[in-house]
Amino acid sequence: MHAWTALITIIILAVAGYVGGQLSATRVLIGTIVPYVAIGIFLVGIAWRVIAWARSPVPFRIPTTCGQQKSLPWIKRARFDSPFTPGETIVRMLLEVLLFRSLFRNTRAELRREGPRLLYEEEKWLWLGALVFHWSMLVVLLRHLRFFREPTPAIVLLLQRIDGFFQIGAPVVYWTGVTMLAALGYLLWRRLKIPQVRYVSLFTDYFALYLLMAIAGSGIWLRYFTKTDIVGVKQLTLGLMTFTPVVPTTVAPLFFMHLFLVSVLLAYFPFSKLVHMPGIFLSPTRNLPNNSRAVRHINPWNYPVKVHTYEEWEEEFRDKLIAAGLPLDKESGNHV
Ligand code: HEM
């Protein structure tokens, strides 16, 4: 049900973008006002999120670890699973952000009818799918810089050359666009196929996947099939960047669908699960060294607590304890 409602929502948004791209009044709306509003919501939303995270108190070390913490010198420790120094923590973060290290070790539990009933299996395909999607999208976005900078930066030209290495067809096929869509397709397929994953999937899970697929799909269609006026697109993007927006009439309606869906993504991003992108850097379960055996971390807002010690208690009830024949600490020197 969630999968269907999300799909229908995306279709409505895509059609709205496409139809809007055909009328001159709505072209101006989708080409200028909508992107500005979306960028505004994105920036304010992300700032609000980051400020809220930064203000959250983290008085103790709470890194999630799955390795031996540094303790006695003769006990072998896991340097990057349980980092002790800031340097080791940075390496751990880099492995996480660039290679999704914890996802690599992810397992899934499956209940079977025969044999060992409960099985824990590795889930390397999820790791691979997620990794391919994220890296492909990064390269696609970096390549898109050619629309926003004049002249096109050398690094973008280099990326284009590497990505279009096989020189298939004209225009040259950029593989990361294709792998991005394929990886998203796999991520959607496993969500629909695996009953346990389908059970925990909500509207937002499908919405994010369909939205990204629609953006990649419309981009691919735009590049290889509809073929829009790229000079016009660049005029529009450079106009947006310099706050002198123009909407050339030569740009295809499909481009407006692409741009409208990107605007929806930008506005939706700070309020969705996709915000894990900046969130990972502010996550105390990841960004803290695990040194609580060596350093005593004191809660800074601990107020002095009036305690009632055992000695005081014993003194208070001494008569009653003696009357009941109970042993006393002070007499015997032993703790009860
Ligand atoms: C989340 C952001 C975006 C994603 C994921 C995305 C994705 C894609 C993909 C996969 C393609 C296919 C060709 C390729 O691999 O490069 C494409 C093409 C295209 N995109 Fe995007 N895009 C995004 C944002 C934008 C923005 C902001 C603009 C312009 C304002 C834009 C304009 C275009 C154009 C004009 C094409 C056709 C390229 C050509 O003919 O060479 N895209 N996009």
Cβ of 142 less than 6 Å from ligand 1: no
Same domain, 136 and 236: yes
Q: Are residues 204 and 326 in the same domain?
A: no
Residue 122, pLDDT above cutoff 90 = no
The per-residue pLDDT of the chain, averaged, comes to 93
pLDDT at 174: 95
Is 330 in the same domain as 273?
no
Q: Are 333 and 254 contained in the same domain?
A: no
* 146 C-beta closer than 6 A to ligand 1: no
Q: Which atom of ligand 1 is nearest to the CA of 222?
A: 37
Task: Read off the CATH number of the domain in which 290 is found.
Answer: 1.20.950.20
User: 333 and 216, same structural domain?
Assistant: no
127-134 long-range contacts, CB within 8 A, separation 24+: 127/100, 127/103, 129/183, 129/186, 129/187, 129/190, 130/100, 130/103, 130/183, 130/187, 131/99, 131/100, 131/103, 132/179, 132/180, 132/182, 132/183, 133/180, 133/183, 133/184, 133/187, 134/100
pTM of structure = 0.88
Res 336 pLDDT > 70: no
Average pLDDT estimate for 140-169 = 91
Percent of the chain having pLDDT more than 90? 80
Domain with 319 in it: 308-336
Task: Answer whether residue 101 shows pLDDT above 50.
Answer: yes
- Assess whether 245 and 319 both reside in one domain: no
Count of domains observed in the chain = 2
Q: Please indicate, yes or no, whether residues 244 and 103 belong to a single structural domain of this protein.
A: yes
Name the residue at shortest CA distance from atom 13 of ligand 1: 220
Residues 334 and 187 in one domain: no
Ligand 1 atom nearest 237 alpha carbon: 30
26 or 112: which leads in pLDDT: 26
State residue 334's pLDDT score.
Answer: 52
Whether 196 has a pLDDT exceeding 80, the answer reads: yes
Task: Check if 267 has its Cβ closer than 6 Å to any atom of ligand 1.
Answer: no
Section 137-152 average pLDDT: 95
